[in-house]
């Protein structure tokens, strides 16, 4: 075997190729680390995490809010999964209170809240995300649950203690679906 670098020979490469590989590995590590820092699932179930998401001036209009700009998972949600979360009575159960024409396949939408038809034209993605996380920031007397918060919850049974109704991934999936409501 000669030491010559050859594209067809695995594992045998010159210093240039090795440098490239190192660079790619380094970049991957960086990206991985960054997305890990943003992922809400395993690490960040601390009060600080939920507090950070709720940062807003209470009582202001959601239309004026910056919202929560970054995806909670670091990636785009899946609108098809979001649709399932919204019609699942054990998850978002959104049609319990909101009429959504895009989900008209499901019967009997409730009317406690405003219709979500065209909601993506009214709010930015960041505002939608924040409304979903905990709309009490904007509407202190709302009947709407906070879907990604554990703040100020009382008498939560053990089965649900310390957990928000929707996971970070589910929030992103719902946001992705809401963005299609134009």
Partner 1 sequence: MRAAEIGVWVMLGLLLVAIASAPRVAAQERKSVPPRDKDNPLTELISGYYFTPLKLRALQDDDFDNPGFPWVTQGEKLWMQIDGASQKSCNACHGSASESMRSAGATYPKFQEAARAVVNLEQRVNICRQDKMKATPWPYGSDSMLAMTAFLKLQSRNTPVDVQADGPAKETFEIGKKLYNTRVGQLSVSCGHCHNDHYGDSLRSELLSQGHSNGYPAYQAKSQRFISLHERFRNCFGDMRAQPYDLSSPEMVALELYLAWRGKGLPVETPAVRR
- Contact set with partner 1 (CB under 8 A): 89, 95-97, 107-112, 136, 141-143, 145-146, 152-157, 160, 163-165
Is residue 94 within 8 Å of residue 102, measured between CB atoms?
Answer: no
- Min dist CB 107 to partner 1, Å, is 7
Q: Which is nearer to partner 1, 29 or 156 (CB)?
A: 156
- Min dist CB 161 to partner 1, Å, is 8
- Min dist CB 124 to partner 1, Å, is 25
Q: Report the candidate in 80, 122, 132, 131 with the shortest Cα–Cα distance to residue 102.
A: 80
CB under 8 Å to 80, separation ≥6 — which residues? 177
Q: Which is nearer to partner 1, 16 or 89 (CB)?
A: 89
CB under 8 Å to 180, separation ≥6 — which residues? 79, 102, 120
Q: Which is nearer to partner 1, 1 or 159 (CB)?
A: 159
- Min dist CB 101 to partner 1, Å, is 16
Q: Which is nearer to partner 1, 94 or 176 (CB)?
A: 94
**Radius of gyration of the chain from its Cα atoms, rounded to whole angstroms:** 22
CA atoms within 13 A on the CB side of 90: 1
């Amino acid at each position: 075997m000669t030491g010559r670098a050859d594209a067809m020979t695995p594992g045998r490469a010159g210093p240039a190729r090795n440098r490239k590989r190192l660079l790619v590995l380094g970049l991957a590590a960086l990206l991985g680390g960054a997305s890990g820092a943003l992922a809400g699932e395993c690490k960040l179930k601390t009060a600080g995490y939920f507090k950070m998401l709720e940062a807003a001036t209470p009582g202001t209009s959601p239309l004026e809010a910056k919202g929560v700009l970054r995806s909670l998972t670091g990636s785009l949600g899946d609108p098809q999964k979001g649709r399932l979360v919204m019609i699942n009575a054990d998850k978002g159960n959104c049609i319990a209170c909101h009429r959504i024409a895009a989900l008209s396949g499901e019967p009997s939408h409730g009317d406690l809240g405003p219709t979500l038809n065209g909601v993506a034209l009214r709010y930015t993605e960041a505002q939608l995300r924040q409304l979903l996380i905990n709309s009490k920031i904007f509407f202190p007397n709302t009947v709407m649950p906070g879907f990604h918060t554990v703040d100020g919850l009382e008498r939560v049974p053990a089965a649900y203690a310390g957990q928000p109704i929707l996971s970070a991934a589910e929030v992103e999936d719902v946001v992705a679906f809401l963005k299609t409501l134009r």
